[in-house]
Amino acid sequence: MKLYISSHAPNPRRVSMFILEKGITGIDTEVVDIIAGEQRSERYLAKNPLGRVPALEFDDGRVLSETRAICTYLEGLHPEPNLMGVDFEERAFIEMADRRMELHLLLETAQSARHQHPALAALEQPQFKDFGAAQADKMRTTARWLDQLLARQAYVAGERFTIADITAFCALEFGRGLLRFRPGDEGMEHLQAWRDRIAQRPSAIGSK
């Protein structure tokens, strides 16, 4: 198998962290330069017509895209350590937490960066600065809610590390790099402490 990723992009990093947490080996990687537009090349579009990363190419030529779908496949292939739930009930609550991180914290962070940061102008034309600023406000609202959640529990989905922590961490790191967002500087001490703790995990260090 081969995993197509892109440097510094949050969704490919989610899959890379997931793989490292699982201890999976034997998957080749290829970096797609999305700033240079390689995701729109004829070669890549033949693999993923939507031109997005990550994408996982099987040995038989089939290609699986979308971060959550790739992680679901890898979880089935390598059930331990479990990151997505051991039974239907836990899976549902972990998916709820992960979707909240993906559709709120990560999406709001990404939209803010894509519409405000000049380095991402190649990815988002036209950029709408006001929209980006509004998304940054929404991201902080979500972050404040998450800060209060983490005051009551150790991890995003409860008392153990899951895929939801990976998604939230990658969102924060993306915002940290492009938006200079530091939760601790804005009074979110629980979120900052959680971020600092996750940053020490080998998967976080190895997926930079």
CATH of the domain at 52: 3.40.30.10
Distance, CA of 84 to CA of 81 (rounded, Å)? 9
How is residue 10 written in tokens?
A: 């949050």
Length of the chain: 208
Domain boundary among 23, 52, 77: 77
Domain boundary among 16, 46, 77: 77
Asked if pLDDT for residue 185 goes beyond 80, the answer is yes
Is residue 98 located within the same domain as residue 188? yes
Is residue 93 located within the same domain as residue 165? yes
Residue 114 near residue 124, CB atoms below 8 Å = yes
* pTM > 0.85: yes or no: yes
Where helices occur in 23-83 by DSSP H, the ranges are 42-45, 67-77
Q: Which helix (H) or strand (E) holds 136?
A: helix 129-150
Number of domains in the chain: 2
Q: Please write the tens of the pLDDT for every residue from 117-136.
A: 777 877 778 889 899 999 99
Distance, CA of 16 to CA of 79 (rounded, Å)? 16
Is residue 6 located within the same domain as residue 106? no
Burial class (CB in 10 A: 0-12, 13-18, 19+), 196: exposed
Q: Please write the tens of the pLDDT for every residue from 33-68.
A: 998 999 999 999 999 999 999 999 999 999 999 999
Residue 190 near residue 148, CB atoms below 8 Å = yes
Is residue 70 located within the same domain as residue 112? no
